[in-house]
Amino acid sequence: MLERLGGGADLGWRRERGDPALSEVHGSIAVPKRSGLWRVFAFMGPGYLVATGYMDPGNWATSLAGGSKFGYGLLTVALLSNMIAILLQALCSRLGVASGRDLAQACRDGFPRPVAWVLWVLAEAAICATDLAEVIGTAIGLNLLFGIPLELGVVLTALDVFLILWLQNLGFRWIEALVVALLAVIAACFGIQIAMADPDWGQVIRGFAPTTEIVRNPDMLYLALGILGATVMPHNLYLHSAIVQTRRHDGTESGKREAIKLATLDSTVALMFALTINASILILAASAFHHGGVGEVTDLGKAHELLNPLLGSTLAPTLFAIALLCCGLNSTVTATIAGQAVMEGFLQIKLAPWLRRLITRGIAIVPAAGVTIAYGESGAGALLILSQVILSLQLPFAIVPLIVFTADKRKMGIFTAPLWQTVLAAIAAALIISLNIKLLFDLATG
């Protein structure tokens, strides 16, 4: 019976399930027994932490570059990326709830040890690339708002570990509350800026329609992959499958089915919100820079500088900087938790959150500081976009294991993903891998 339910037995896995990752918050949020909105509300939260990773500073750089260079043409990539993200995060919820394993633990327990070690190294590389974007984005935000030099701002970003420690001591719900509050500030900032930019909504709607130019134009493909890498991020797959287990729900078959359904609803709503933010960044860049005759804008500092004369208000660049800083802080929180889940899941090594954070942030600070000192804001902007393309190249190594595990009846039992979901996820993975191969070919042939 336990094997049939899935997650109760470990017969389909190479190794037995160990201690849960993020054990300090595992099952820490009780789901009320009464039905209705209270149960739905109990599952709200993890999706918004995941959504944060879909609008981090690296996403800003790629969306600004895409909108300023190609107008509204890449909105279709933002929409496609978001649809893929919704599908994959639904699989993450299913894996975490049904098997009791996050993706890192599943890789450790489901693959031979050498394979798991390779996947761990790639996951850590993806988190470092994510953190690199956060370091640069937060430093630029501090520079734009308070005039703090970029080099000093890069170093100051290491102090955010104290914010995370304080929040973790208060409880996981406080972390979720901070993330949602910062997301609300970001949404308000962009809402006002879009109203100021007054885009051509007819062209905006047409921008969501697919076009073959994305594949035919290498420059457009490069930015499209950057947007894809910034939207569907590898660390989010590890993160979501871990934090969905913070809910203490009924462990019966019906309880798990409800948990999967409500966790999927949470992430879907949150990711639709993320799409509005990502589209807003691209629309703002297209309206203010591309159609304003400025041309391509790749660095965040230049975008901030140009918004005042183009939109005719000193409020616009200030709102831009506030939203950027909020994005950096939010991404910091989620990357820290993802890093903990990856290390604990793959290696079963528990480090204090502050130590884990300082190690990851130290790896990211070195290249960020070196580039900002040598090349200033323009070099930092180019590094931001490069980090997002690296993330796109890392994606298959997280997506393929996720699809394999959730489609395996021996591991998931009756909670195996429906065939349509597996097929769509496989098509998405094939699309991402094909685009990556095309990108590498274009780079190799100049």
Q: Are 61 and 292 in contact (CB under 8 A)?
A: no
pLDDT of residue 1: 40
Torsion from C-alpha of 214, 297, 320, 395, nearest 10 degrees? 40
Q: What are phi and psi of 100, to 5 degrees?
A: 75, 15
pLDDT of residue 4: 42
Torsion from C-alpha of 63, 65, 68, 69, nearest 10 degrees? -120
Please, what sign has the CA dihedral across residues 343, 357, 390, 78? Answer: positive
pLDDT of residue 5: 46
Q: CB burial class (10 A; 0-12, 13-18, 19+) of residue 1?
A: exposed
Per-residue pLDDT of the chain in tens (446 residues, 90 and over written 9): 444 444 444 567 877 777 777 787 888 888 888 777 888 888 999 999 998 878 777 677 778 888 888 889 899 988 988 999 999 999 999 999 999 999 999 999 999 999 999 999 888 888 877 777 777 778 888 888 888 887 788 777 777 767 766 777 778 888 889 889 989 999 999 889 888 888 889 899 998 988 888 878 888 887 887 677 666 778 889 999 999 999 988 888 999 999 999 999 999 999 999 899 889 889 988 888 887 667 777 667 777 777 877 777 778 888 888 988 888 888 877 887 888 888 888 988 777 766 766 676 666 566 666 666 666 666 666 676 677 677 777 888 999 999 999 999 999 999 999 999 999 999 988 887 887 777 667 666 76
On whether the 2-444 domain is CATH 3.10.20.600, my answer is no
pTM of the model: 0.86
What is the rounded CA–CA span in Å between residue 110 and residue 394?
20
SS (H, E, C) the chain: CHHHHCCCCCCCCCCCCCCCCCCCCCCCEECCCCCCHHHHHHHCCHHHHHHHHHHCHHHHHHHHHHHHHHCCCCHHHHHHHHHHHHHHHHHHHHHHHHHCCCHHHHHHHHCCHHHHHHHHHHHHHHHHHHHHHHHHHHHHHHHHHHCCCHHHHHHHHHHHHHHHHHHHHHCHHHHHHHHHHHHHHHHHHHHHHHHHHCCCHHHHHHHCCCCCHHHHCHHHHHHHHHHHHHHCCHHHHHHHHHHHHHEECCCCHHHHHHHHHHHHHHHHHHHHHHHHHHHHHHHHHHHHHHCCCCCCCCCHHHHHHHHHHHHCCCHHHHHHHHHHHHHHHHHHHHHHHHHHHHHHHHHCCCCCHHHHHHHHHHHHHHHHHHHHHHHHHHHHHHHHHHHHHHHHHHCHHHHHHHHHHHCCHHHHHHHCCCHHHHHHHHHHHHHHHHHHHHHHHHHHCC
pLDDT of residue 10: 59
What is the rounded CA–CA span in Å between residue 204 and residue 83?
18
Please, what sign has the CA dihedral across residues 245, 250, 252, 257? Answer: negative
